[in-house]
Structure 1
Amino acid sequence: MTTRTTAPVALVTGASSGIGEATALELAEAGYTVYAAARRVERMAHLIESGIRTISMDVTDDASMQEGVNKIIAESGRIDVLVNNAGYGSYGALEDVPMAEARHQFEVNVFGAARLTQLVLPHLRVNRAGKIVNITSMGGKIHTPLGAWYHATKFALEAISDCLRLEVKPFGIDVIVIEPGGIKSEWAGIAAGKVRAVSSDGPYAAQGNAVADSLSSESTQRRSSPPELIARTIRKAVTARKANTRYAVGFGAKPMIFLHQVLPDRTFDTLMRRVTGVPSA
């Protein structure tokens, strides 16, 4: 039986850790009825103590997403905010990364977000209001060594967000892009593991090991921003009367995006090789 709540309802994907977890807590504190979604529901048990409702959702499984959205509508009667946060980084030389892995990264980072948006939009249009928040990355504006597939997904989600913003404006719906920089989370460790798995030997070994070491280094983690910073930015965006279209936030995001805009391509290439420790020859 549907019980229409007066509190705004938010769905946050990838909520078992990092930015998603912090965002679920932040929006709950702001008075939202929050549905935290992830594949590993057991890792979200502590969120229930904060009044957050947890649901199992795999953004590569259409039935899973449909069931999740239907559950929210059945219980709360509405969805006001969708935060597409689920995603991961898979690094490796283009020549080395299996196409199956490339496709999977697109399934998670792009098609999952797009399909969930399709499922949620009819409910936002009924209310003629709502916000869709897509978590891209400063990696949606810049490029780094051995990050071809990851950056491709984030560039794609940036483009989808811009087109979608035009499409849904007549229905009172806004689309907001969050572009995090370096964040303390599981992301860097996963990305480092991926690049080591495919490019730690062979012709790209020097680059692969340098990128993996850079991603997992103590100095990188020390400089990285806490996920709570991104969560507070998301809260600011979804509660604003008129939000910005984009928020670049977190370690390195604004300066790196700026440098990519003003530097010649080959100069930026040199900078990225130096930052990641990748040899030029």
Structure 2
Amino acid sequence: MRPINQQVVLVTGASSGIGEATAIRLRQRGFIVYAAARRTARMRHLLGLGIHVLALDVTDDASLKQALQVIMQQQKRLDILINNAGFGTYGAIEEVPLADGRRQFDVNVFGAVRLIQLVLPIMRCQRSGRIINTSSIAAKVYEPLSGWYMGTKHALEGISDSLRTEVAAFGIDVVMIEPGATNSQWAGIAKQALLRDSGSGAYQKLVWEVAAQLDLFAKVGSAPTTIADLMERAATARRPRTRYVGGFGSKTALFARRLLSDRQFDAAVALILGLGYRYYQRRKS
């Protein structure tokens, strides 16, 4: 492995939350860090820390190519890509407009995969590299009104697992970070979408229970620096794990999913949300 102070890292979604904390943490460790996001004004303070700031929209192919061109012109290499850009759309699968569902997949899945496609030729030529994808425990568990978001995380994990076996021969590692509840803007954005699309109508009772849970996540969720710790471990390990799990409730949730059957997990979700298990079942006449 090259010395840390010679390794170049690109972090997407770095204007707040986990991405911002990760960019700062890796710069403190000595990496050459490029922090990228659509909202560059929110990253100006990073310049004072020696972090390079890039405008990047993961759904815009020209923007992706321009960002990589800048990095290659300045550094001639890219050692680590951290695909962190993403957001959560909550709402009943029936009620979320398909355009919003597509937008969710465009950002969380297709944006990340397109950037991977553009980065891989660089890393193959180097015969080394590391791709770190921000997944979630949502890739392993589920709850109502989160299908679009959790669907993106399930998809990203499946793609990442396949990718890992494709690029190993080129000296490229693929790692997934699986956070639990995190204290960031994510929960507020998800709640806003939830209330907008499903705040009235057939799913209203369920909406308010899930909205209360999102409020709780925002209050008791782990600090973004907790997940930045995982990112640092994934970036610096000589032989990284395929997955790193951490954050509020993450290990408990994954243990429960392994232990319980689907029906038992359904019942556990109902209990957590304050609903009777029969809420999920059609009552027999």
| TM category, shorter | over 0.9
Deviations 1:231-253 (A, max 9, x none): 11111111111111001110111
* Conserved 8 A contact 2:5-2:32: no
Change (3 A) 1:6 1:268: closer
* Conserved 8 A contact 1:26-1:231: yes
Of 243, 246, 262, the match for 1:246: 243
Q: Distance in 2 between matches of 1:278 and 1:98?
A: 26
Deviations 1:171-206 (A, max 9, x none): 000000000001010000001111000111000111
Counterpart of 1:92 in structure 2 is 91
Shift of 1:6: 6.6
Q: Distance in 2 between matches of 1:145 and 1:6?
A: 45
Amino acid at match of 2:6: A
> Is 1:178 aligned with 2:174?
no
* Conserved 8 A contact 1:207-1:279: no
Counterpart of 2:20 in structure 1 is 21
Change (3 A) 1:74 1:278: farther
Counterpart of 2:283 in structure 1 is none
Count of residue correspondences = 275
| SS at 1:58 equivalent | coil
Counterpart of 1:33 in structure 2 is 32
Q: Distance in 2 between matches of 1:263 and 1:36?
A: 40
Deviations 1:21-59 (A, max 9, x none): 000001101111100000000000011111000000001
Q: Distance in 1 between matches of 2:92 and 2:65?
A: 35
Q: Distance in 1 between matches of 2:85 and 2:203?
A: 29
Counterpart of 1:10 in structure 2 is 9
Q: Distance in 2 between matches of 1:276 and 1:187?
A: 19
Equivalent positions of 1:69-108 (< 5 A) are 69-108=68-107
Superposition TM-score, scaled by structure 1 size: 0.95
Amino acid at match of 1:191: A
Counterpart of 1:140 in structure 2 is 139
Equivalent positions of 1:111-126 (< 5 A) are 111-126=110-125
Counterpart of 1:275 in structure 2 is 272
* Conserved 8 A contact 1:145-1:273: no
Shift of 1:279: 5.5
Q: Distance in 2 between matches of 1:167 and 1:210?
A: 42
Superposition RMSD on alpha carbons, in Å?
A: 1.3
Change (3 A) 1:279 1:92: farther
Bigger shift: residues 152-161 or 230-239: 230-239
Equivalent positions of 1:24-63 (< 5 A) are 24-63=23-62
Equivalent positions of 1:182-201 (< 5 A) are 182-201=181-200
| SS at 1:50 equivalent | coil
Q: Distance in 2 between matches of 1:276 and 1:119?
A: 42
Shift of 1:168: 0.4
Q: Distance in 1 between matches of 2:118 and 2:90?
A: 30
Amino acid at match of 2:252: P
Q: Distance in 1 between matches of 2:134 and 2:5?
A: 27
* Conserved 8 A contact 1:136-1:178: yes
Superposition TM-score, scaled by structure 2 size: 0.94
> Is 1:157 aligned with 2:156?
yes
Shift of 1:278: 4.6
Amino acid at match of 1:117: I
* Conserved 8 A contact 2:180-2:247: yes
Q: Distance in 2 between matches of 1:55 and 1:127?
A: 23
Counterpart of 2:220 in structure 1 is 223
Amino acid at match of 1:134: N
> Is 1:64 aligned with 2:63?
yes
Of 259, 262, 270, the match for 1:265: 262
